[in-house]
Amino acid sequence: MDIFQKAFDYSQADEYRAKGLYPYFRPIETGTDTEVYINGKKMIMLGSNSYLGLTFNESTVRGAIESIKKHGTGCAGSRFLNGTLILHEDLEEKLARFMKKEKALLFSTGLLTNQGILSTIIGKTDIAYVDKADHASIIDGVRLSFGRVVKYKHNDMDDLKRVLEQSDKKAGKLIVVDGVFSMEGDLADLPNIVDLAKKFGARLMVDEAHAVGVLGKNGRGTAEHFGLEDDVDIQMATFSKSFATIGGFAVSCHSVIDYLKHHSRALIFTASLPPAVLGVVNNALLIIQNEPDRRTRLSQIAEKMRKAFKEMGYNVGHTVTPIIPLIIGDMDKCLMMWKEVTENGLFVNPAVPPAVPPGYSLIRTSYTATHTDDQLDFAIDVFKKAGKKLGII
């Protein structure tokens, strides 16, 4: 059989293009802000993860320009050899201090951060315990390891306890969980996870990608939100959300970070982050530390939208974050909902299987601290009319 046959047989995307219900790879003519243009049409952006609204911030843009002028456009190598600038090490020190951990390590993307940590730390005799709703980069990371992977039901502490009880007591154990789940917008039950990790001698890693800059008094994420920073062994976060660029980082104790630096293939065998990104992150970190009003405003926006959706009759699940899903269920109806609100000026993201379980298709909306009340009110009106037209509310 031709190895390409699976590609020749694939037709689902074309089928949905023919229906006018294909929602992916839409070219945006402007940068990502609260308003964008597609095909010359202005749309309210409710699909971005730029939670603090820093993609066009004067300080972050200036950080990129100044770093390029001084250090050029790229490093032309990996961190392991010629790709480490003083900028990388300075930023790692700042991130470690901010996150209250001994050391930090930069990776070139968020996906590589999870893959780089998990495929390196989990060995042949180890077990990784992952929430079924964990991000795909976590799933890929544990699969790349040589250890055993055990999934437990989403945020089900009884199920986590069950799988821990059934495991080899001599095996190394790592529980890996999203702090904020990227589709549902709900939080990991970190207090109970910490208790179970201690009881069964497991280490704990928290993916803070959607939480850093958003949760906690100082914006350090889910662990700070619950007051459990000292009980989490490894944290990772990405720069593609609150930091408004690309990349990621891990923080942990000195020994773990040093081990990753010398063994992680995702670090050693990929090019290092370019100076422009480092300049953006450096200045975004200052904003996260010095402008807490952005988090306050973001929280107010999220509460306003949750309340409005619930009053309209939408099912928003258990979200408590700026990620607010409208759970539709049926895939085709979800895509029809996407098309309806898109035609009326909203940019939103539909999530359908396999990104979500079958029968759980949803419209994922997400919010930015710089959204205006007028923009939000416009969105509420569009969702109200669309939901009624399609019989969803």
Q: How many domains does the chain have?
A: 2
The span from the CA of 107 to the CA of 46, in Å, is: 28
Among 294, 366, 296, 286, which Cα is nearest to 326's? 366
Same domain membership, residue 260 and residue 215: yes
Encoded tokens for 364: 């994922």
189 and 337 belong to one structural domain: no
> Tell me, what DSSP letter sits at residue 4?
T
**Domain range enclosing 178:** 58-290
- Which H or E run contains 252? strand 248-252
The CA-CA-CA angle for residues 84, 280, 29, to 5°, reads 120
Q: Are 317 and 210 found together in one domain? A: no
- Measured in residues, the chain has a length of 393
Say if residues 248 and 105 touch (Cβ distance below 8 Å): no
Residue 83 sits in the same domain as residue 143: yes
Position 32 scores a pLDDT of 82
What's the pLDDT at 31?
Answer: 83
Task: Specify whether 12 is located in the same domain as 107.
Answer: no
List average pLDDT for each run of 10 residues in the chain, which is 393 residues long.
Answer: 96 94 94 92 97 97 97 95 97 98 98 98 97 96 96 98 94 98 96 98 98 98 98 98 98 98 97 98 98 98 98 97 97 96 97 91 98 98 98 95
From start to end of 51-125, where are the E strands?
103-107
The strand pairing partners of 325, in sequence order, are 364
Yes or no: say if 128 and 147 are a contact pair by the CB < 8 Å rule: yes
Give the contacts of 3 (CB within 8 A, at least 6 positions apart).
Answer: none
Regarding whether 97 and 27 lie in a shared domain, the answer is: no
CATH number at residue 303: 3.90.1150.10
Predicted TM-score (pTM) of the model is 0.96
Contacts of 68 (CB under 8 A, 6+ apart): 275, 276, 279
The helix (run of H) or strand (run of E) holding residue 223 is helix 222-226
Three-class DSSP category at 24: coil
- Boundary-marking domain end, from 271, 290, 309: 290
In three-state secondary structure terms, 83 is coil
Q: Which of 242, 265, 290 is the last residue of a domain?
A: 290
Structure-block tokens of residue 283: 């200045």
- Among 235, 267, 290, give the residue marking a domain's end: 290
Residues 201, 265, single domain; the answer is yes
> Phi and psi at residue 264, in whole multiples of 5°?
-80, 115
Domain identity same for 323 and 364: yes
